[in-house]
């Protein structure tokens, strides 16, 4: 895809996002943010009953065209492919940059990978919730634990989701 076509594709996804909105029966909703740009994304995930596979993904958010387009493109792909949890967690940030187009995404890797990092955090949340339920904890116990964790992070500048952190490359640069 040439640069002009790629930019038109990204703008279309930002203006007419696919799978934008809360999932009423979400197993997890996880916020993520990019404080450098002001992007905010919440990913909603629903697991397939009895399987470690995604049944549906939705998102809400505000921010730059790249972050919102990336969330839409990722949600569209995940809803079409219905990957396993393991496949989601194995998705590479480099592949996300390639998908969006390095000619555009390399300048803003944190914006480009925020949705993927937040999706991974949501999948990890579903996995942890399932383990806690199997260990005998109630849904109320899990919700209270999550509230306590969020309260400790409040006011610290801590951004939940791993997208912003993971966008940095091994050599410390941010292409």
Is residue 170 scored above 80 in pLDDT?
no
Task: Set out the domains of the chain in order of their start, with CATH numbers.
Answer: 3-164 (3.90.1010.10)
Q: What is the mean pLDDT of residues 113-131?
A: 94
Closest by Cα among 130, 112, 120 to 161: 120
CA 74/CA 90 separation, integer angstroms: 14
21-36 pLDDT, tens digit per residue, is: 999 999 999 999 988 8
Closest by Cα among 50, 55, 44, 120 to 86: 120
Other beta carbons within 10 angstroms of residue 39's beta carbon come to 25
8-21 pLDDT, tens digit per residue, is: 999 999 999 999 99
Is residue 95 scored above 90 in pLDDT?
yes
Q: Which two tokens stand for residue 117?
A: 């990092």
Locus of tokens 């505000």: 62
């Amino acid at each position: 895809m040439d640069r002009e076509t790629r930019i038109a594709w990204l703008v279309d996804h930002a203006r007419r996002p696919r799978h934008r909105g809360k999932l009423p029966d979400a197993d997890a909703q996880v916020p993520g943010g990019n404080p450098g740009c002001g992007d905010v994304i919440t990913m909603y995930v629903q697991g397939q009953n009895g399987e470690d596979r995604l049944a549906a993904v939705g998102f809400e958010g505000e921010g730059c065209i790249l972050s919102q387009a990336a969330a839409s493109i990722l949600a569209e792909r995940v809803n079409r492919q219905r990957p396993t949890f393991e496949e989601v967690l194995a998705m590479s940030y480099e592949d996300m940059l390639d998908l969006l187009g390095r000619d555009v995404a390399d300048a803003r890797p944190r914006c480009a990978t925020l949705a993927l990092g937040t999706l991974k955090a949501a999948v990890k949340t579903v996995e942890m919730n399932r383990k806690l339920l199997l260990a005998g904890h109630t849904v109320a116990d899990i919700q209270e634990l999550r509230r306590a964790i969020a309260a400790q992070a409040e006011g610290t500048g801590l951004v939940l989701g791993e997208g912003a952190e993971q966008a940095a490359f091994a050599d410390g640069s941010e292409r």
